[in-house]
Amino acid sequence: MRHPVVVAMLGALLAATALSACQPSDAPDSDSSATAGPALDTTPSTGPAEEPTATPAPDDGNAETERPVLKLSAIDGSGYDLAAHRGKWVVVNFWATWCAPCLKEMPELSALDAMHEHIEVIGLAYEDIEVEAMRAFLDEHPVVYPVAIVDTYDPPADFETPRGLPMTYLIAPDGSVAEKVIGPVTAREIEDAIARHGGPDADTSAPASS
Domain with 111, as residue range(s), is 88-196
- DSSP codes of every residue in 13-82: HHHHHHHHHTS-TTSPPHHHHHHHHHHHHTSPP-S-TTGGGGSPPPP-SSS--SS---EEE-TTS-EEEG
Helix, strand, or coil (residue 148)? strand
Q: What pLDDT score does 202 carry?
A: 72
Which parts of the chain have pLDDT scores under 70?
Answer: 1-65, 203-210
For the whole prediction, is pTM greater than 0.75? no
How many CB atoms neighbour CB 209 within 10 A? Answer: 7
Q: What is the pLDDT of residue 201?
A: 82
Q: What does each C-alpha distance from 28 to 9, 24, 41, 185, 202 come to in angstroms? A: 28, 9, 17, 49, 58
Q: Kindly report the CATH number assigned to the domain that includes residue 187.
A: 3.40.30.10
Question: Helix (H, G, I), strand (E, B), or coil: what is residue 191?
Answer: helix
Which pLDDT belongs to residue 144?
A: 98
Burial readout 174-196 (b: 16 or more C-beta within 10 A, e: otherwise): ebebbbebeebbebebbbebbee
| 162: in domain | yes
Q: Kindly state whether residue 38 falls inside one of the protein's structural domains.
A: no
- Beta strands at 147-150 and 119-126: parallel, antiparallel or unpaired: parallel
pLDDT at 118: 97
For residue 76, how many other CB atoms are within 10 A of its CB?
12
**Is residue 5 one of the residues assigned to a domain?**
no
Residue 128 resides in a domain: yes
Which value, in Å, is the radius of gyration of the alpha carbons in the chain?
Answer: 31
Evaluate whether residue 133 is within a structural domain: yes
**Is 100 part of any domain?**
yes
In a domain, 146, yes or no: yes
Count up the domains in the chain and report the number.
1
Task: Tell me if 124 is assigned to some domain.
Answer: yes
pLDDT in the model for residue 156: 96
Buried b (16+ CB within 10 A) or exposed e, 33-49: eeeeeeeeeeeeeeeee
Average pLDDT, the chain: 77
